[in-house]
């Protein structure tokens, strides 16, 4: 069987021609016929006129356009032929990275930081102020005492002209987003003074103080929380005041007279945490 000779790489035209298909075709009849005629021509030069007389003009239809499938086969054949050439072994051809490097370009993005501050809504909203007399359930009065510049409330019995020492308490009531009729938030201040009961922590325990406040209505959220007490009315006519900052701790008085008003846990059996409010509210 005759084998078609493969030309050198430099002799291959990279442009498509319909003769390329014939070159790589497995059908060698065309080349065989051509070689045969050439041999006959060389051996019978003297009879060239005889061959010319036998040549007849023919009209052939143009070849059909090559199908995509055949083109693909030709491309595979050419690539396989090129793989054997040493000069192409270490060549790198165009790939996706070459395209992406020109399309995807890293650029620095500049931006400005804008800080915004949004005032949070107050947990407690001031409602109104009323003035009351508050006594513990044993009828001990609350009186203001000041020692070395420090003010505090004491619980004692007052009669006759001494009753004037009884402190009048300003009760500021507040409302919340979810009102609870059984727990009304209030602040407790001394009428005529800028002193308010406040519950803070000292040595790991809640402690009750009287603190000076210019305007209690200006305090919000965490600043206001130590001054807030939940007024709770029991099944009887007595009321209790639970610290909002320290749940479970209540304003309490000692069973002894002339003792400071303090903050104690509800389960404390020594101190009293029930009070009468007059007028009631």
**pLDDT tens-digit profile, the chain (281 residues):** 455 555 554 454 444 444 444 444 444 444 444 444 444 445 445 444 454 455 555 555 555 556 677 777 777 777 777 666 555 455 555 555 554 554 455 566 665 665 544 445 678 999 999 999 999 999 999 999 998 889 999 999 999 999 999 999 999 999 999 888 889 999 999 999 999 999 999 999 999 999 999 999 999 999 999 999 999 998 888 999 999 999 999 999 999 999 999 999 999 989 999 999 999 87
Q: What is the pLDDT of residue 9?
A: 47
Q: What is the pLDDT of residue 190?
A: 97
Q: What is the pLDDT of residue 84?
A: 61
In order of 129, 139, 175, the CA distances from 242 in angstroms are: 19, 20, 16
Measured in whole angstroms, how far is the alpha carbon of residue 206 from the centre of its chain?
Answer: 37
163 near 141, Cβ under 8 Å?
Answer: yes
Query: Could you give the domains of the chain?
Result: 9-56+65-93 (no CATH), 125-278 (2.80.10.50)
Residues 6+ away with beta carbon under 8 Å from 228:
124, 174, 185, 186, 187, 243, 244, 245
166 near 141, Cβ under 8 Å?
Answer: yes
CA-CA distance, 239 to 275, in Å (whole number)?
A: 5
Q: What is the pLDDT of residue 55?
A: 52
pTM: 0.58
Q: Which two tokens stand for residue 126?
A: 């001031």
CA-CA distance, 19 to 4, in Å (whole number)?
A: 14
């Amino acid at each position: 069987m005759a084998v078609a000779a493969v030309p050198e790489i430099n002799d291959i035209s990279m442009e498509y021609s319909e003769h390329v298909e014939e070159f790589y075709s497995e059908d060698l009849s065309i080349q065989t016929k051509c070689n045969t005629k050439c041999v006959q021509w060389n051996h019978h030069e003297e009879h060239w006129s005889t061959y010319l007389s036998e040549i007849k003009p023919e009209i052939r239809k143009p070849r059909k356009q090559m199908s995509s499938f055949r083109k693909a086969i030709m491309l595979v054949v050419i690539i396989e032929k090129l793989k054997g050439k040493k000069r192409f072994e270490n060549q790198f051809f165009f790939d996706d990275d070459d395209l992406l490097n020109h399309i995807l370009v890293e650029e620095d993005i500049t931006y400005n930081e804008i800080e915004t501050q949004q005032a949070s809504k107050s947990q407690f909203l001031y409602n109104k102020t009323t003035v009351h007399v508050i006594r513990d359930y044993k009828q001990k009065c609350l009186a203001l005492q000041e020692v070395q510049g420090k003010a505090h409330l004491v619980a004692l019995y007052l009669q006759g002209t001494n009753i004037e020492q009884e402190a009048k308490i300003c009760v500021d009531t507040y409302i919340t987003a979810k009102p609870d009729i059984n727990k009304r938030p209030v602040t407790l201040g001394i009428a005529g003074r800028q002193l308010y009961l406040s519950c803070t922590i000292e040595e790991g325990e809640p402690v009750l103080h009287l603190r000076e406040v210019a305007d209690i209505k200006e305090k919000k959220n965490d600043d206001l929380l130590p001054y807030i007490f939940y007024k709770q009315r029991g099944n009887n006519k007595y009321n209790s005041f639970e610290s909002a900052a320290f749940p479970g701790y209540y304003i309490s008085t000692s069973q002894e007279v002339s003792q400071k008003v303090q903050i104690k846990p509800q389960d404390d059996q020594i101190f009293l945490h029930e009070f009468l409010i007059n007028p009631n509210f």
